[in-house]
Structure 1
Amino acid sequence: MQKFFLLILFATFLSAIDIINGDVEIFTTKNPQDLTINGTANYWLKAPNDENLSFSIISAGYYQQNNIIVKNGNEKIVYNIKKGNYKSEKILVEQSKTTPNKSVLQRIDDERNEANKIYQAITPLKINTKFIHPLNSTITSPFGSARVFNDVVKSYHSGVDFRASIGTPIIAANDGMIVIAKERYYAGYSVVIDHGEGIYTQYYHLSKIDVKLGDSVKKGEQIGLSGASGRVSGPHLHFGVIVNATQVNPLNFIEKINKLLN
């Protein structure tokens, strides 16, 4: 009888969930206690439309291999990392975009460091309605594809590409504040929106930027026009999402977070 009781107790407080590298899961509870993620103290977010529901966004990085362990008091959830079935792409771009000189490499580092510093910032949540896509179009390149540029540079696709001819209006996926609005070496004319609590959306390769740093924008508001700036093989919109300073699959994020939002 004692052994049976211990097995029930273990099953009550320990669970396991599979998560694909690059995806997110939303952990919700109406009994929030001390929260840790991989041993680091964290904090709960309040669901915008349910004051009794708390949640935490669990984000798995593309290169993550170790499982993610979340504890809510005595409750323990293990998120088992599963490798996604991502494809491979070969892309031809301008040679200068694969072999930049020393001064350009410094610029690339500066832009990366600037963005990473921004993504570390945690501001109050600015959203209470569902996310939308930045335009209504076909996806030409999914998240996670292994990429080889000019048979030299290897990376992975950190967002999704929407088909868009030059000059197509691009709209904000949700309410937020503009934290990047400038031309960058790889991303071209770029806009990044801070939606609060470590959630950011990225809009790259634009031909025109219609917002400026510090602007508040509403969901559906035009922020620019699509283009072919930066490291591209043709015109399109690259749409990305950052959560907890981790690049994640935008479509997966929108699907999961929208279940909490009206």
Structure 2
Amino acid sequence: MKKILLIILSFTAIINALEITPKNVKNANTSLIVLNQKNIQNPKLTFDKHNINFFPYPSKKESYYALIPVSYYKDKKAYRVIVSYFQNNKKIFKGITLNVIDGKYKSETINVPKGKVSLSPKNKKRVEKEYKEAMKIYNTVTPELYLNGAFIKPMNSKITSSFGKKRVYNNTLKSYHSGTDFKAAVGTKVKAVNDGIVVISQNRFYAGNSIVIDHGQGIYSCYFHLSKMNFKVGDRVKKSEIIGLSGSTGRVTGPHLHFAFRINGVQVDPLQAITLLNKNHLY
């Protein structure tokens, strides 16, 4: 009986040491893994063959966190997340299940100039170059966390197009809506959602005038189609500072703010990510 009790207590301790929120996550959403363990080194996790580092939990002692961004195109099924770390010179493994479920995103049809859908060789080359440059940035994980309190929204405005909608351009399915669109006339002020460092400040074919902020530890916020950009690459920006003005540059049908989020290089629902980070005091 005593042996059985010890096994039960040991199993309970393992479960409590590893937490996942949410356990059932929609495609293109983010899950938080929390590792509560003393005196450990080099904690890491593997999710579907992708390695992700843990960081010290900002508001919890002797705890670590990792963010798992789930791709929009990830297969809907159960995945085993494997966590490893060293303790007393011994490598320890733990596992927990993450269920990826269907986000059930809607579809929308958009009519745009033909040149913005069927690209000329020159524009195709430009798009490929801009994508490669951006992905190199998004896949960079800065060790420092720059956050200053909870995230805010980039503006208080009506959402005109939610994240994840299938985008049908001129009757051809091309992509999904990779951000959240806020209603904004040309010249509306756009706020930084938290502290960070500007890593992109340029005009791009699809996104138009773009500002991207690195918030540290793999978290990036993106602000597209601006009419004016107030910061350049390398500038430090504080939460609620006016980083630019909304506009209609790039591939758009009218003025608005396209707000997007990248975590560990993966495009995710920005509002779900912000809610998750704020709710769990990851700052």
Is the shorter-chain TM-score for this pair beyond 0.5, marking a shared fold? yes
Find the counterpart in structure 2 of residue 260 from structure 1: 281
Of 92, 98, 122 in structure 1, the residue corresponding to residue 141 of structure 2 is 122
Return the offset for 1:119.
0.8
Of 107, 125, 133 in structure 1, the residue corresponding to residue 153 of structure 2 is 133
Give me the whole-angstrom Cα distance separating, in 2, the residues matched to 1:214 and 1:254: 23
Give me the whole-angstrom Cα distance separating, in 2, the residues matched to 1:58 and 1:156: 20
CA contact (8 A) 1:37 1:68 kept: no
Give me the whole-angstrom Cα distance separating, in 2, the residues matched to 1:30 and 1:150: 51
1:65-122 Cα offsets, whole Å, 9 max, x none, are 1644322344311111111120000011122111120011000000000000011111
Matching of residue 70 in structure 1 with residue 81 in structure 2: yes
SS at the partner of 2:65?
strand
Of 31, 35, 38 in structure 1, the residue corresponding to residue 44 of structure 2 is 35
- Structure 1: state its 5+ residue gaps: none
CA contact (8 A) 2:210 2:229 kept: yes
1:182-230 Cα offsets, whole Å, 9 max, x none, are 1000001100000111110000011111111110000000110001111
Find the counterpart in structure 1 of residue 119 from structure 2: 100
1:145-188 Cα offsets, whole Å, 9 max, x none, are 00111113521011100111110000101000001001000001
Find the counterpart in structure 2 of residue 89 from structure 1: 108
Give me the whole-angstrom Cα distance separating, in 1, the residues matched to 2:127 and 2:51: 33
Query: Which one-letter code corresponds to 2:116 in the other structure?
Result: K
Query: Which one-letter code corresponds to 2:44 in the other structure?
Result: L
Matching of residue 166 in structure 1 with residue 186 in structure 2: yes
- Structure 2: state its 5+ residue gaps: 84-91
The 5 Å alignment of 1:165-184 reads 165-184=185-204
Change (3 A) 1:6 1:156: farther
Change (3 A) 1:128 1:37: farther
Give the percent of matched residue pairs that are identical in Structure 1 and Structure 2.
Answer: 41
Aligned residues: 262
Query: Which one-letter code corresponds to 1:36 in the other structure?
Result: L
SS at the partner of 1:118?
helix
Matching of residue 58 in structure 1 with residue 68 in structure 2: yes
Return the offset for 1:51.
3.3
Return the offset for 1:12.
6.9
CA contact (8 A) 1:192 1:202 kept: yes
The 5 Å alignment of 1:152-163 reads 152-163=172-183
Greater alpha carbon shift after TM alignment, 175-184 vs 24-33? 24-33
Return the offset for 1:5.
7.7
Query: Which one-letter code corresponds to 1:181 in the other structure?
Result: S
Return the offset for 1:35.
2.7
Query: Which one-letter code corresponds to 1:212 in the other structure?
Result: K
Greater alpha carbon shift after TM alignment, 214-223 vs 91-100? 91-100
CA contact (8 A) 2:148 2:239 kept: no
Give me the whole-angstrom Cα distance separating, in 1, the residues matched to 2:100 and 2:5: 30
Give me the whole-angstrom Cα distance separating, in 2, the residues matched to 1:204 and 1:185: 11
Give me the whole-angstrom Cα distance separating, in 2, the residues matched to 1:161 and 1:198: 23
Greater alpha carbon shift after TM alignment, 176-185 vs 252-261? 252-261
SS at the partner of 2:220?
strand
Query: Which one-letter code corresponds to 1:112 in the other structure?
Result: Y
